[in-house]
Protein backbone atom coordinates (compact mmCIF):
# COMPACT_ATOMS: atom_id res chain seq x y z
CA UNK A 1 0.00 0.00 0.00
CA UNK A 2 1.02 3.60 -0.61
CA UNK A 3 0.39 5.31 2.73
CA UNK A 4 0.36 8.87 4.00
CA UNK A 5 0.71 9.05 7.77
CA UNK A 6 -0.91 11.95 9.61
CA UNK A 7 0.48 12.52 13.10
CA UNK A 8 3.76 10.95 12.04
CA UNK A 9 5.71 12.58 14.85
CA UNK A 10 3.77 11.05 17.73
CA UNK A 11 4.09 7.74 19.55
CA UNK A 12 1.66 5.99 17.24
CA UNK A 13 3.31 7.63 14.26
CA UNK A 14 6.65 6.14 15.30
CA UNK A 15 5.10 2.66 15.72
CA UNK A 16 3.35 2.88 12.37
CA UNK A 17 6.54 3.89 10.58
CA UNK A 18 8.24 0.87 12.11
CA UNK A 19 5.51 -1.60 11.11
CA UNK A 20 5.04 -0.08 7.65
CA UNK A 21 8.72 -0.76 7.00
CA UNK A 22 8.51 -4.29 8.44
CA UNK A 23 5.50 -5.23 6.32
CA UNK A 24 6.93 -3.86 3.09
CA UNK A 25 4.33 -1.13 2.57
CA UNK A 26 5.34 2.26 1.20
CA UNK A 27 5.28 5.47 3.23
CA UNK A 28 4.81 8.11 0.53
CA UNK A 29 4.07 11.10 2.76
CA UNK A 30 4.03 12.25 6.37
CA UNK A 31 2.21 15.05 8.15
CA UNK A 32 3.49 16.32 11.49
CA UNK A 33 3.55 19.51 13.53
CA UNK A 34 7.34 19.66 13.13
CA UNK A 35 8.02 17.80 9.85
CA UNK A 36 11.69 18.84 9.81
CA UNK A 37 12.33 16.58 12.81
CA UNK A 38 10.94 13.34 11.32
CA UNK A 39 14.18 12.23 9.62
CA UNK A 40 12.44 10.08 7.01
CA UNK A 41 12.80 9.85 3.22
CA UNK A 42 9.11 10.41 2.37
CA UNK A 43 7.88 13.97 1.65
CA UNK A 44 6.95 15.71 4.91
CA UNK A 45 4.81 18.75 5.67
CA UNK A 46 2.62 20.20 8.40
CA UNK A 47 -0.52 19.54 6.33
CA UNK A 48 -1.63 17.40 3.39
CA UNK A 49 -0.21 18.42 0.02
CA UNK A 50 -1.69 17.71 -3.45
CA UNK A 51 1.02 15.11 -4.03
CA UNK A 52 0.08 13.26 -0.84
CA UNK A 53 -3.52 13.05 -2.03
CA UNK A 54 -2.35 10.70 -4.77
CA UNK A 55 -1.69 7.98 -2.18
CA UNK A 56 -3.99 4.98 -1.69
CA UNK A 57 -4.71 5.45 1.99
CA UNK A 58 -4.37 8.02 4.77
CA UNK A 59 -3.80 6.85 8.36
CA UNK A 60 -4.52 9.52 10.96
CA UNK A 61 -3.33 9.37 14.57
CA UNK A 62 -3.00 13.09 15.14
CA UNK A 63 -5.10 15.49 17.22
CA UNK A 64 -8.75 16.54 16.96
CA UNK A 65 -7.57 19.75 15.30
CA UNK A 66 -5.35 17.81 12.90
CA UNK A 67 -8.18 15.47 11.95
CA UNK A 68 -10.54 18.40 11.35
CA UNK A 69 -7.92 19.91 9.03
CA UNK A 70 -7.62 16.62 7.13
CA UNK A 71 -11.40 16.37 6.76
CA UNK A 72 -11.50 19.87 5.27
CA UNK A 73 -8.85 18.86 2.74
CA UNK A 74 -10.59 15.60 1.80
CA UNK A 75 -13.91 17.37 1.35
CA UNK A 76 -12.28 19.24 -1.54
CA UNK A 77 -10.05 16.41 -2.82
CA UNK A 78 -10.51 15.51 -6.51
CA UNK A 79 -10.19 11.76 -5.89
CA UNK A 80 -11.51 9.34 -3.30
CA UNK A 81 -9.12 7.87 -0.74
CA UNK A 82 -9.27 5.29 2.01
CA UNK A 83 -9.03 7.04 5.38
CA UNK A 84 -8.31 5.31 8.71
CA UNK A 85 -8.91 7.59 11.71
CA UNK A 86 -7.59 6.55 15.12
CA UNK A 87 -7.53 10.03 16.64
CA UNK A 88 -9.30 10.12 20.01
CA UNK A 89 -11.24 12.95 21.61
CA UNK A 90 -13.18 13.89 18.47
CA UNK A 91 -16.29 16.00 19.02
CA UNK A 92 -19.71 14.80 17.89
CA UNK A 93 -19.62 17.46 15.19
CA UNK A 94 -16.32 16.13 13.83
CA UNK A 95 -17.67 12.59 13.87
CA UNK A 96 -20.67 13.74 11.84
CA UNK A 97 -18.34 15.33 9.32
CA UNK A 98 -16.52 12.00 9.02
CA UNK A 99 -19.83 10.28 8.29
CA UNK A 100 -20.59 12.83 5.59
CA UNK A 101 -17.10 12.36 4.17
CA UNK A 102 -17.80 8.63 3.93
CA UNK A 103 -20.32 9.25 1.16
CA UNK A 104 -17.37 9.61 -1.20
CA UNK A 105 -14.43 8.08 0.69
CA UNK A 106 -13.99 4.75 2.49
CA UNK A 107 -13.65 5.90 6.12
CA UNK A 108 -12.92 3.79 9.19
CA UNK A 109 -13.15 5.53 12.54
CA UNK A 110 -12.22 3.83 15.79
CA UNK A 111 -10.91 4.79 19.20
CA UNK A 112 -8.71 1.69 19.21
CA UNK A 113 -7.30 -0.31 16.29
CA UNK A 114 -6.34 -3.31 18.42
CA UNK A 115 -7.86 -6.58 17.24
CA UNK A 116 -8.10 -7.74 20.86
CA UNK A 117 -10.02 -4.64 21.94
CA UNK A 118 -12.49 -5.19 19.10
CA UNK A 119 -13.16 -8.70 20.39
CA UNK A 120 -13.31 -7.41 23.99
CA UNK A 121 -16.01 -4.93 23.03
CA UNK A 122 -18.11 -7.69 21.44
CA UNK A 123 -17.71 -9.94 24.50
CA UNK A 124 -18.56 -7.12 26.92
CA UNK A 125 -21.69 -6.30 24.97
CA UNK A 126 -22.88 -9.88 25.17
CA UNK A 127 -22.09 -10.04 28.89
CA UNK A 128 -24.09 -6.85 29.52
CA UNK A 129 -27.13 -8.49 27.94
CA UNK A 130 -26.67 -11.75 29.81
CA UNK A 131 -26.07 -10.22 33.25
CA UNK A 132 -29.04 -7.96 33.96
CA UNK A 133 -28.83 -6.14 37.25
CA UNK A 134 -25.06 -6.44 37.56
CA UNK A 135 -23.13 -3.21 38.16
CA UNK A 136 -20.75 -2.30 35.34
CA UNK A 137 -17.45 -0.47 35.78
CA UNK A 138 -14.68 0.27 33.31
CA UNK A 139 -11.10 0.74 34.41
CA UNK A 140 -8.23 1.96 32.27
CA UNK A 141 -4.56 2.84 32.64
CA UNK A 142 -2.24 4.59 30.20
CA UNK A 143 1.15 6.28 30.18
CA UNK A 144 1.59 9.49 32.12
CA UNK A 145 1.54 11.75 29.05
CA UNK A 146 -1.88 10.74 27.76
CA UNK A 147 -4.18 13.77 27.72
CA UNK A 148 -7.80 12.57 27.50
CA UNK A 149 -9.48 10.78 30.40
CA UNK A 150 -11.30 8.48 30.40
CA UNK A 151 -9.66 7.16 27.25
CA UNK A 152 -11.56 7.03 23.99
CA UNK A 153 -11.47 3.24 24.20
CA UNK A 154 -12.97 3.25 27.70
CA UNK A 155 -15.80 5.51 26.55
CA UNK A 156 -16.40 3.32 23.50
CA UNK A 157 -16.63 0.25 25.74
CA UNK A 158 -18.98 2.18 28.02
CA UNK A 159 -21.21 3.19 25.12
CA UNK A 160 -21.42 -0.42 23.93
CA UNK A 161 -22.40 -1.95 27.28
CA UNK A 162 -24.73 0.95 28.14
CA UNK A 163 -26.67 0.60 24.91
CA UNK A 164 -26.81 -3.17 25.28
CA UNK A 165 -28.16 -2.78 28.81
CA UNK A 166 -30.19 0.41 28.39
CA UNK A 167 -28.06 2.01 31.10
CA UNK A 168 -26.85 5.57 31.48
CA UNK A 169 -23.25 6.08 30.37
CA UNK A 170 -22.11 9.00 32.49
CA UNK A 171 -18.49 8.91 31.33
CA UNK A 172 -17.46 10.28 34.71
CA UNK A 173 -14.71 9.28 37.09
CA UNK A 174 -16.41 11.16 39.94
CA UNK A 175 -18.74 9.25 42.20
CA UNK A 176 -19.51 10.33 45.77
CA UNK A 177 -21.92 8.54 48.05
CA UNK A 178 -23.74 5.33 47.20
CA UNK A 179 -23.83 4.13 43.64
CA UNK A 180 -26.65 5.24 41.38
CA UNK A 181 -28.47 2.35 39.77
CA UNK A 182 -28.16 1.63 36.06
CA UNK A 183 -25.04 3.73 35.48
CA UNK A 184 -21.59 2.91 34.14
CA UNK A 185 -18.68 3.71 36.44
CA UNK A 186 -15.16 4.65 35.37
CA UNK A 187 -11.72 4.47 36.99
CA UNK A 188 -8.70 6.14 35.41
CA UNK A 189 -4.99 5.72 36.11
CA UNK A 190 -2.04 7.47 34.45
CA UNK A 191 1.56 6.49 35.01
CA UNK A 192 4.80 5.25 33.57
CA UNK A 193 4.93 4.01 29.99
CA UNK A 194 1.82 1.80 29.95
CA UNK A 195 0.64 1.36 26.35
CA UNK A 196 -2.91 0.65 27.44
CA UNK A 197 -4.92 -1.53 29.82
CA UNK A 198 -8.71 -1.80 29.92
CA UNK A 199 -10.99 -3.80 32.19
CA UNK A 200 -14.76 -4.18 32.09
CA UNK A 201 -16.08 -5.38 35.45
CA UNK A 202 -19.54 -6.90 36.01
CA UNK A 203 -20.34 -7.07 39.73
CA UNK A 204 -23.30 -9.12 40.89
CA UNK A 205 -24.45 -10.87 44.05
CA UNK A 206 -21.37 -12.62 45.49
CA UNK A 207 -19.54 -12.83 42.17
CA UNK A 208 -17.63 -10.67 39.71
CA UNK A 209 -16.75 -11.14 36.05
CA UNK A 210 -13.83 -9.23 34.54
CA UNK A 211 -12.87 -8.91 30.88
CA UNK A 212 -9.31 -7.59 30.59
CA UNK A 213 -7.16 -6.43 27.70
CA UNK A 214 -3.50 -5.47 28.15
CA UNK A 215 -1.52 -3.93 25.33
CA UNK A 216 2.07 -5.10 25.78
CA UNK A 217 3.47 -3.15 22.84
CA UNK A 218 2.18 -0.14 20.91
CA UNK A 219 2.80 -1.89 17.59
CA UNK A 220 -0.42 -3.91 18.05
CA UNK A 221 -2.33 -0.71 17.28
CA UNK A 222 -0.16 -0.06 14.23
CA UNK A 223 -0.71 -3.59 12.90
CA UNK A 224 -4.45 -3.26 13.43
CA UNK A 225 -4.50 0.09 11.62
CA UNK A 226 -2.63 -1.35 8.64
CA UNK A 227 -4.99 -4.32 8.53
CA UNK A 228 -7.90 -1.88 8.53
CA UNK A 229 -6.27 0.15 5.74
CA UNK A 230 -5.81 -2.91 3.54
CA UNK A 231 -9.43 -3.89 4.17
CA UNK A 232 -10.70 -0.43 3.24
CA UNK A 233 -8.93 -0.60 -0.12
CA UNK A 234 -11.08 -3.60 -0.99
CA UNK A 235 -14.38 -1.92 -0.09
CA UNK A 236 -16.52 0.92 -1.46
CA UNK A 237 -17.05 4.32 0.15
CA UNK A 238 -18.78 4.06 3.51
CA UNK A 239 -18.40 4.60 7.24
CA UNK A 240 -16.80 1.55 8.82
CA UNK A 241 -15.48 0.31 12.17
CA UNK A 242 -13.10 -2.42 13.28
CA UNK A 243 -15.92 -4.94 13.64
CA UNK A 244 -16.39 -4.73 9.87
CA UNK A 245 -12.71 -5.56 9.32
CA UNK A 246 -13.06 -8.71 11.44
CA UNK A 247 -16.37 -9.66 9.84
CA UNK A 248 -18.31 -9.76 13.11
CA UNK A 249 -21.62 -8.11 13.95
CA UNK A 250 -21.38 -4.48 14.98
CA UNK A 251 -21.92 -3.72 18.63
CA UNK A 252 -24.40 -0.93 19.39
CB 1 within 8 Å of CB 229: yes
146 is known as an active-site residue: yes
Distance CA 180, CA 132 (A): 15
Q: Which of 146, 180, 198, 213 is catalytic?
A: 146
Contact 158, 102 (CB under 8 A): no
The two beta strands, 57-60 and 82-85, are parallel
User: Is 213 marked active-site?
Assistant: no
Contacts of 25 (CB under 8 A, 6+ apart): 1, 2, 3, 226
Burial letters 141-164, b for 16+ CB under 10 A, else e: bbeeebeeebbbbbbbbbbbbbeb
CA-to-CA distance for 121 and 157, rounded, in angstroms? 6
Q: Of residues 105, 142, 198, 213, which has the active-site annotation?
A: 142
- The residues annotated with a catalytic role in the active site are 142, 146
Amino acid sequence: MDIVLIGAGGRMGHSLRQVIDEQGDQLVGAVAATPDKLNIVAPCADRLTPTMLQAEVLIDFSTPQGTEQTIETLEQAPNALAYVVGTTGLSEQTQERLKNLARRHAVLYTANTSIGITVMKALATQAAKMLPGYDIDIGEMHHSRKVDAPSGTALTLGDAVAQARGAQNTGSTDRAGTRKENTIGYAVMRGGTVAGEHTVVFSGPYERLEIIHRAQDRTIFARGALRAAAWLLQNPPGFYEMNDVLGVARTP
